[in-house]
Structure 1
Amino acid sequence: MSYYADLGFEAITPEALRERTASPAVQRFLVEGVGPVSVSGIPELGRILLAHGAGAGHLSEFMRQFAAMLASERLQVWAIDFPYMQQMSEEAKRRPPPPVKKTLEHFAAWYDLLASCSGSPLWVGGKSMGGRVASLFASQHRCAGVIAAGYPFHPPKKPDSLRTDHFPDIATPMLILQGERDPFGSREEVADYALPDSLHIHWLTDGDHDFKPRRSSGVNQQVLIDEAAIVAASFVRAQ
């Protein structure tokens, strides 16, 4: 895939990957059979498999800043692109994500590979759709826990189409980092939901779905992204 090769992603086999992940620097690999991944940080607290949202891949500004801050907090981040996003990047053409079952299958393949690489605790997480996929995975498989940034509780302007039915099946700790004004689930809306005790929500002041606040709030998006990552690392540390 020329797009990833041009960005310095190194083609590598899954077997070779196991020997190449001890560096604190960001490493980029194009792993045979699964695709691109950016690895950052040392797994002092553990590791997290991190998936992107529906419209932008793991190299987006949001994802790179979130991953960098998690890594600075001693959590090793494995940020991936789903196959449809790989195709979007190669063709420079937008396309909708496939049914969530297909995306979940790819996420599970990555999890199986990473679980075999190390005995370090492996968390799952993601931005928006990626967080939903991670939570669906955790409702069906054992993992260390879930971190979701901007969880899509419902599609915008469709508050009755909730995506929470699987939450009671998640047996591990789950943290949602949510902007107070998120159109996929605002603080006011979520207050009325019946959510399991194992799920924790941290609200980001005046943030929207991308944690971008209004200018009048006195904070900015970069501050809220960093806050979200620091809270996430603290949550992992506390488990």
Structure 2
Amino acid sequence: MTEIIETVETVETDAGTARITWRRAEKADTAEKAAKADSAGAKAARLVLAVSHGAGGGIEARDLRALAAALPAHGVTVALVEQPWRVAGKKLAPAPKTLDAGWRGLWPALAAPGLPVVAGGRSAGARVACRTATELGAHAVLALSFPLHPPGRPERSRADELLGAGVPTLVVQGGNDPFGRPEEFPDRTGPDAYELVEVPYGDHGFAVPKRAPVDQEQALTVVTDGVLKWVSSLP
């Protein structure tokens, strides 16, 4: 099996001290380990997936942890990003411009491994990734539970942020997400095309009802399999 190494790095930004928890798939250091890794289908990292949390939680979110556990063995180093407000122990996220400043300040550390960086996040973190992707030179964007609109307010659409990312984009959205169900999202053809994976019965945190025909583990497998298929298709 591939050895997954977890390290923690703090980064100073204009918005305060941020934190990155790295989950790396390390190359085997002996021929014997390399043979075992090859037999398990393990791959050396070819890109970094940097994902940040939303406005109401941290990197302990079930989808972020599932991605960090599953992707390193498939050639994807996962960087779990904690914004400065979260590191400081604050309960409320700051304004979008402050979130963007924190993300910009983190970017050199995310790019330091010398690999293409997929900018990602869940909810508010997905909005940050979309707003800054072109500016920072992101390879692609992963938007988990993109908050298309506030609950019950579809007229306050944030589709422009999503469509303006300017790079290949994947949206992973719960079928019952009150911030925007998959069928509410804009047309996925034309110059602003993006891909969308639906997590059946999932809410904004990809939780599924106990009586749903899919259980929580199956729902998270939809997330990880969908993201893995997509990143594998990126050039």
State whether structure 2 residue 174 is matched by structure 1 residue 182.
Answer: no
Residue identity in the other structure for 1:55? G
Deviation of the 1:196 alpha carbon: 5.2
Question: 2:135 and 2:188 mapped to 1: Cα distance?
Answer: 18
Residue identity in the other structure for 2:75? R
Residue identity in the other structure for 2:21? S
What is the aligned counterpart of 1:39 among 22, 33, 36?
22
Question: 1:228 and 1:61 mapped to 2: Cα distance?
Answer: 10
Residue identity in the other structure for 2:223? A
Question: 1:173 and 1:227 mapped to 2: Cα distance?
Answer: 20
Which structure's residues are more often helix, by fraction?
Answer: 1
Q: In the alignment, what sits opposite 2:205?
A: 210
Size of the aligned set, in residue pairs, is: 209
Q: In the alignment, what sits opposite 1:30?
A: 10
Deviation of the 1:219 alpha carbon: 1.4
Which structure's residues are more often strand, by fraction?
Answer: 2
Q: In the alignment, what sits opposite 1:67?
A: 68
Deviation of the 1:73 alpha carbon: 3.1
Deviation of the 1:64 alpha carbon: 1.9
User: What do the CA deviations read for 1:101-132 (whole angstroms, capped 9, x no partner)?
Assistant: 110111111112322x1321111001111111
Contact 1:125 1:147 in 2 (8 A): yes
SS at match of 2:142: strand
Deviates more, 1:41-50 or 1:124-133: 41-50
Q: In the alignment, what sits opposite 2:95?
A: 99
Deviation of the 1:158 alpha carbon: 1.0
User: What do the CA deviations read for 1:139-166 (whole angstroms, capped 9, x no partner)?
Assistant: 4342110111111111111111111213
User: What do the CA deviations read for 1:153-207 (whole angstroms, capped 9, x no partner)?
Assistant: 11111111111213343221000001111101013322xx245543110111111
Distance change (3 Å), C-alpha of 1:168 and 1:29: closer
Question: 2:142 and 2:65 mapped to 1: Cα distance?
Answer: 16
Question: 2:180 and 2:147 mapped to 1: Cα distance?
Answer: 7
User: What do the CA deviations read for 1:8-49 (whole angstroms, capped 9, x no partner)?
Assistant: xxxxxxxxxxxxxxx732112234554221100236231011
SS at match of 2:227: helix
Deviation of the 1:62 alpha carbon: 4.0
Contact 1:204 1:211 in 2 (8 A): yes
Contact 1:154 1:163 in 2 (8 A): yes
Q: Which runs of 4+ in 1 moved over 4 A?
A: none
Contact 1:45 1:236 in 2 (8 A): no
SS at match of 1:166: helix
Contact 1:135 1:167 in 2 (8 A): yes
Structure 1: gaps spanning 5 or more residues? 1-22, 89-93
RMSD of the TM alignment (CA)?
A: 2.0
Residue identity in the other structure for 1:72? A
Structure 2: gaps spanning 5 or more residues? 26-43
Contact 1:47 1:123 in 2 (8 A): yes
Contact 2:11 2:109 in 1 (8 A): no
Question: 1:125 and 1:80 mapped to 2: Cα distance?
Answer: 10
Question: 2:223 and 2:62 mapped to 1: Cα distance?
Answer: 15
Q: In the alignment, what sits opposite 1:224?
A: 219
Question: 1:72 and 1:221 mapped to 2: Cα distance?
Answer: 22
State whether structure 2 residue 146 is matched by structure 1 residue 131.
Answer: no
Distance change (3 Å), C-alpha of 1:60 and 1:217: closer
Question: 2:199 and 2:62 mapped to 1: Cα distance?
Answer: 18
Contact 1:45 1:237 in 2 (8 A): no
Deviation of the 1:217 alpha carbon: 2.2
